[in-house]
């Protein structure tokens, strides 16, 4: 059993101390030196689960480690065949979504989308944060799909996998173009982000919201700027996210405060404060999701915890497992978002009591689907006469 698999399966806790686990990971060659990953969330860059070879860093005595360059953000163009992704998950409130990008520069250590990078032959670790894919054809493909005679309108969710307003959006502006297509077609959209860059598109979103076609959820994981910087290194600061909630709300755009993810013994004590702050900024809805650690996310999160909060390592993982049937993660529908057991129940009750006190809605405003204007052609090649 490798050190990575031991870390994933929790073999180091509770019989071994966090110091021993940290030392084993450090000596394994899996952890990337701080100078190469500064400003990133993950400390590991393990091979994806589909790869036949395993990568590790080791000193060969020729000082080659000093020649390795820091991880820099690289963007490749991806050519998808379709813009809209469908799902039939019973515990998700949408059946279609759009992902303008693959990978996310925000570098949130807990991101459940990290394992998707394995499908590209890349690591869910640092590669997920630094080797990104942009999909500039998505707006054109979206217009084409909306123009099909058999297309049936339902709200499209954006930001459910990776953040559409991550830093590279400033240059690529794919999300802006997507919104322009949706605005023209009067198509309902729900956006999830933790970036203040969403304020750039208030002009489009406010126009759509005035017709009941748009709402935005802003994820605020913590109000502690230091914790946010460590856990979500390239995302907007908590204060900027609250500023975005206020700006969107003031513009008449229905906005939700999302306390996600809740991490026991790390940020769960902030639930009430986060909801209070979101309500004060103008949020009218609220939601939360318990920390999810599927596949490679578990060892990446464990390593991050060992590096940054070694004194809490055993306690955090013990509580997580108490809510996941003794495992790091339980993917069962109905449980994966909220967990199970006494501690999960307590988190749920605290959230319910606070949202009730503040008058924050939980079911969400229904977006209109009766104003849809089917695009004319949308880039579909005309048949030859």
Whether the CA torsion 321, 323, 325, 331 is positive or negative: it is negative
Residue 56, pLDDT > 70, answer: no
The pLDDT of residue 87 is above 70: yes
Quickly state the pLDDT bin for 384 (edges 50, 70, 90): very low
For 211-222, what is the mean pLDDT? 98
Q: Which helix (H) or strand (E) holds 268?
A: none
Q: Is the pLDDT confidence value at 363 over 60?
A: yes
pLDDT of amino acid 22? 66
pTM of the shown model? 0.88
Q: What is the pLDDT of residue 10?
A: 55
Beta strands in the chain (DSSP E): 74-77, 85-86, 96-98, 101-102, 131-134, 156-158, 189-193, 214-219, 255-262, 285-290
Alpha-carbon distance of 287 to 92, in angstroms, equals 13
Closest CA to 116 of 294, 342, 379, 277: 294
Check pLDDT > 60 for residue 55: yes
Closest to 275 (Cα-Cα) out of 202, 353, 158, 160:
353
Separation between Cα atoms, residue 176 and residue 222, nearest integer Å:
27
Higher pLDDT, 64 or 14: 64
Per-residue tokens: 264:
């026991």
Mean pLDDT computed over 214-229: 98
**pLDDT at residue 259, as a whole number:** 97
Q: Is the pLDDT of residue 63 over 80?
A: no
Task: Give the mean model confidence (pLDDT) for residues 348-354.
Answer: 98
Neighbour-count burial of 368, counting CB atoms closer than 10 A to its CB (0-12 exposed, 13-18 middle, 19+ buried) = middle
Classify 302 as helix, strand or coil.
helix
Q: Note the pLDDT of residue 85.
A: 96
The predicted pLDDT at position 69 comes to 78
pLDDT of residue 362: 72
Between residues 361 and 158, the one the model is more confident about: 158
d(Cα 356, Cα 351) in Å, to the nearest integer? Answer: 8
C-alpha dihedral (232, 238, 242, 248), degrees to nearest 10: -30
Give the pLDDT confidence of 96-124 residue by residue, as tens digits: 999 999 999 999 999 999 999 999 999 99
CA-based nearest residue to 110, from 304, 317, 325, 331: 304
Split at pLDDT 50, 70, 90, the class of 50 is confident
* pLDDT of 380 strictly over 90: no
Q: Give the per-residue pLDDT at 383.
A: 39
| Predicted pLDDT at 258 | 97
Mean local confidence (pLDDT), 365-372: 92
Calculate mean pLDDT across residues 137-143: 98
CB within 8 Å of 159: residues ≥ 6 apart: 165, 191, 192, 193, 217
DSSP codes of every residue in 164-188: TTSTTHHHH-HHHHHHHHHHHHT--
Say how far apart CA 222 and CA 272 lie, in whole Å: 11
CA atoms within 13 A of residue 131's CA, in its CB half-sphere: 15
Q: Are strands 156-158 and 189-193 parallel, antiparallel or unpaired?
A: parallel
pLDDT for the residue 356: 97
Look over the chain and give the mean of its residue pLDDT values, rounded to a whole number.
Answer: 90
Give the span between the Cα atoms of 161 and 204, in whole angstroms.
Answer: 22
Pick the range with the lowest mean pLDDT from 35-49, 77-91, 218-232: 35-49
Report how far residue 160's alpha carbon sits from residue 145's, in angstroms, rounded to the nearest whole number: 20
- Residue 84 and residue 318: Cα distance in Å, rounded? 39
Q: Is the pLDDT of residue 35 over 50?
A: yes
| Whether the predicted pLDDT of 204 surpasses 90 | yes
pLDDT band at 62 (very low <50, low <70, confident <90, very high): very low
Cis peptide before 261 (omega within 30 of 0): yes
| pLDDT band with cut points at 50, 70 and 90 for residue 93 | confident
Q: What is the pLDDT of residues 298-329, one digit of tens each?
A: 999 999 999 999 999 999 999 999 999 999 99
Confidence of residue 6 (pLDDT cuts 50, 70, 90): low
Instruction: Report d(CA 349, CA 298) in Å as an integer.
Output: 26
Instruction: Give the pLDDT of residue 51.
Output: 80
């Amino acid at each position: 059993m490798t050190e990575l698999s031991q870390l994933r399966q929790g073999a180091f806790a509770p019989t071994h101390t966090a110091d021993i686990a940290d030392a084993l990971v450090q000596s394994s060659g899996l952890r990337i030196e701080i100078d190469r990953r500064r400003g990133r969330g993950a400390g590991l860059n393990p091979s994806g689960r589909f790869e036949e070879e395993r990568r590790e860093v080791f000193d060969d005595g020729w000082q080659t480690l000093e020649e390795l360059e820091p991880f820099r953000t690289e963007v490749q163009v991806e050519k998808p065949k379709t813009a809209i992704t469908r799902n039939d998950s019973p515990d998700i409130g949408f059946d279609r979504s759009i992902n303008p990008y693959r990978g996310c520069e925000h570098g949130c250590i807990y991101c459940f989308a990290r394992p998707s990078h394995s499908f590209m032959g890349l690591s869910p670790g640092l590669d997920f944060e630094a080797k990104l894919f942009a999909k500039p054809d998505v707006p054109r493909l979206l217009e084409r799909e909306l123009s099909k005679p058999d297309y049936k309108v339902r709200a499209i969710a954006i930001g459910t996998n990776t953040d559409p307003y991550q830093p590279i959006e400033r240059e690529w502006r794919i999300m802006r173009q997507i919104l322009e297509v949706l605005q023209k077609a009067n198509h309902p959209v729900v956006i999830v982000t933790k970036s203040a860059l969403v304020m750039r598109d208030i002009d489009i979103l406010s126009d759509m919201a005035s017709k009941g076609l748009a709402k935005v959820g802003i994820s605020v994981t913590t109000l502690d700027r230091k914790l946010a910087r460590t856990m979500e290194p390239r995302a907007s600061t908590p204060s900027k996210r609250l500023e975005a909630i206020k700006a969107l709300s003031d513009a008449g755009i229905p906005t939700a405060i999302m306390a996600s993810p809740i991490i026991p013994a790390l940020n769960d004590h902030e639930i009430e404060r986060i909801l209070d702050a979101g309500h004060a900024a103008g949020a009218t809805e609220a939601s939360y999701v318990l920390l999810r650690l599927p596949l490679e996310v578990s060892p990446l999160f464990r390593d991050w915890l060992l590096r940054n909060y070694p004194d809490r390592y055993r306690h955090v993982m013990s509580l997580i497992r108490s809510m996941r049937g003794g495992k790091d993660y339980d993917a069962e529908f109905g449980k994966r978002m909220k967990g199970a057991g006494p501690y999960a129940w307590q988190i749920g009750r605290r959230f319910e009591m606070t949202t009730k006190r503040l008058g924050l809605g939980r079911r969400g405003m229904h977006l209109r689907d009766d104003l849809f204007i089917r695009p004319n052609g949308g880039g579909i090649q005309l048949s030859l006469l």
